[in-house]
Every structure is written in C-alpha cells, then in structure tokens.
Amino acid sequence: MTEQRVRDLTSVPRRLPIEIEGNVTHEIILTMWSVFSSKDTNAAQDLGQVWIDKVKELTAEDLQGEIVRLGGPYFYMWLVLGSFLLSAPHPHDPEHVVDWLSSVDDLRLRRWLLGESSHSDNQALIEQAAGGDMEAVRELVTAGDDSHKKAAGEMLEYVEWMFSVEGLAQRYAYVLSRFRSEVFVEFEDEFAGAIARAAAARRASGAQGDAKTVIEEVTAGIEFDIPLGVRRVVLIPSVVTRPLSLIDEYRGTLLVYYAVADEFIDSDPEAPPSWLVRTYKALSDERRLRILRRLSEGETNLDELTDMLGLSKSTVHHHISILRGAGLIRVRMATEVDSGAKGKCYALRDRPLNDAMGFLDSYLRIEEAGEMHA
C-alpha cells in the first residue's frame, strides 16, 4: 500500500497582492473620525488636543452636524465609506473620488454601507435591506454578537434616516468636498507631503511578499493573522492616526492604516526625534514599567494585566495604547483555538528599547562630551 503524505500548508506565509494608497482622501475621513467621533479615539494620538480644537473651530456648526449625522452609530459609517472609495477608478485623489462618489447610485451605496457595517454574509438579506425592507434591516443589524445587538437601536435609527434621504451618495460627496475646502486645506500640504513620501518609501522597499510580515513592519509590532477570506491588502499611511494603527476588513480587502514614520515629517533638525520622546514618555510611568516587566516574562492579555495592576480595563488599555504607540509592544490577535479565548495578546519588543538608549546617547552627544573632557 502506498503511504499517503499530507503537506501542512497552514504555516506557509500568505502571498497576497499588496497595494499602497499615497493620497489624502482617507486622511480627510480619518480627520473627521478622529475629531468628531463620540468615542475616545484620539486620546493617544500625536496631534493632540490643540489640533483637535483647531479642527473643531474651523468647522462650521452646520457642517459638524452633517458629519455626525452621516457618521451613524459609533461614527463607523465614515470608515465604511472609506473602504467603498477603494472601488473608485484610479487615481484616488480627493477630486476624482468626490466626482465619482457624486455619480454613484444610492442603492449601490446603501448595499455597501449595510453589508459592511453588519456581521452577516447573507447577500440576499443585504439586498432586501438595501432596497428598503425594514424587516430585513432589523434581521441584518441584530446579526452578530451581543455587542452589535446593543447598537441595533442606533443603527435602525440611522437606516431609517438613510432611506429618507434622496441623493445619499451626493450628500457624502458634498460633505467630503466641503470639509476639505473649508477645514482640511489648512493641513493638506503638510499631510500630503508626508503621506506621499511614506508611500513612496514603502513601494521602494518592496511591498510584495509575506503580508503578515509587511503588516508587522508598517504597524511597528501588530502580529495579525490574516483571515482566509482576505484577497488583497491595502496599506494606507496616515499622519492623523500617529502613533497608532487601524486594521479593518471589508469584502476580502484588508485595510491597514499605519502611522507615517518620523523621517517623512518635516521638523526642526535640532528637535529630538518624536519617536524618541514617545518612547521615554512611555517609560515614565510606574504602571507601564510594570506592564513591560510582565511582558518580558512572556505573552499575556488584557485580563491578566488588569488583575495584576488592580486597575480598570479602560485604564490598562490606555497604558497599553501608549506603549504600543512607542513601538514597545507586539500585538497578536488571539483565537479560541490557540488561547482558549478570542482577543489580543501582548508581547515585548526588545529592539525599540535598545535603539532608544543608543539614540538618546547620540542626541545628547554623550560620547562627544566624554571625549571633550578626557
């Protein structure tokens, strides 16, 4: 009898097409999301409260109302729209994307917004809901786990309003265009230059290859197991999200919003690198040092760190976000198979700590000072 052999392909790196967006279209959406979302999305972002207040001051009251209304529950619909804009013909610069969105049929947009904001793969149900069947809408928005069911009431309210609007796609296009011309124009040149340089550098370094490795590189430590349904990866460098990264999936496309590195942002040549400041700021808190010491012993999760520190989950998550922003922590999305529970697992990244010590010596010219006094 011939012996049958099985080749295990589960550990083979996935070779997926990787695209890079190097324009500010998504940055406009991320600016609105960061500033006007009711969730505390901007707590650990580099641009800070002064920038947030300036954006709000520049945004007329009626425009703020439109941004929030179109954002829907948890302001998530703007992010869903961002994924929809990848369907536009190239180039994906704001002018072309807004023109394209203005010509989109409302049914097509509703189908995308409902399908991607729900947790159902039932295409027939999505089609019924997009066509105005409220029973199908109710079934769609209550699909998924308990956390999504809690938001069902807000989602139903948003959908009912969405059906009352004629020219929904044109309304989104108008708000995008107006926010850009009245508000984002203040920052566009600076952001656009940094994003274009970051995108060009990523292309030059070679974006193709093991998608999981590329994602860990650009996000400074997120170890993300790519779902089997993903067919392509889109990398989107961002100034607004710095130092954090966002990862989301829509219809087989994995969107990776990653922080533009310091070297692509113009700054005072005498100023310390912002990543160096961020690293030492992250190390300046006793609780964060205790987290790092625990991670030096091995991987762990939020629940264990919460028990260890005796703090609330939200407080511990805040400290983890700061450590992540400094690139000191590696994040792995755990599954029930390998951890007994779904969620994020955290591990220490040694190299950024070693790099920080060396760069601090270099910035302070410690070696030069020693030579001068020898």
Question: In the chain, what are the domain boundaries?
Answer: 18-259, 274-372
pTM assigned to the model = 0.73
Which of the pair, 56 or 352, is modelled with greater confidence?
Answer: 56
Using the predicted structure, report yes or no on whether residue 368 has a pLDDT greater than 50: no
Over the stretch 59-103, which tens digit does the pLDDT of each residue have?
A: 999 999 999 999 988 788 999 999 999 999 999 999 999 999 999
Beta bridge pairs of residue 233: 18, 254
Note the pLDDT of residue 213: 86
Note the pLDDT of residue 144: 58
Residue 146: pLDDT band (50, 70, 90) is low
Range scoring the smallest mean pLDDT among 187-196, 203-212, 252-261, 283-292: 203-212
Residue 39: pLDDT band (50, 70, 90) is low
Mean per-residue pLDDT for 36-51? Answer: 74
Note the pLDDT of residue 271: 66
Note the pLDDT of residue 12: 44
Over the stretch 213-253, which tens digit does the pLDDT of each residue have?
A: 888 888 887 888 888 889 999 999 999 988 888 898 888 89
Contact (Cβ atoms closer than 8 angstroms) between residue 291 and residue 323: yes
Which of the pair, 273 or 321, is modelled with greater confidence?
Answer: 321
Note the pLDDT of residue 107: 94
Domain 274-372 has CATH 2.40.50.140: no
Note the pLDDT of residue 169: 96
Residue 1: pLDDT band (50, 70, 90) is very low
Note the pLDDT of residue 176: 97
* Average pLDDT over all residues of the chain: 83
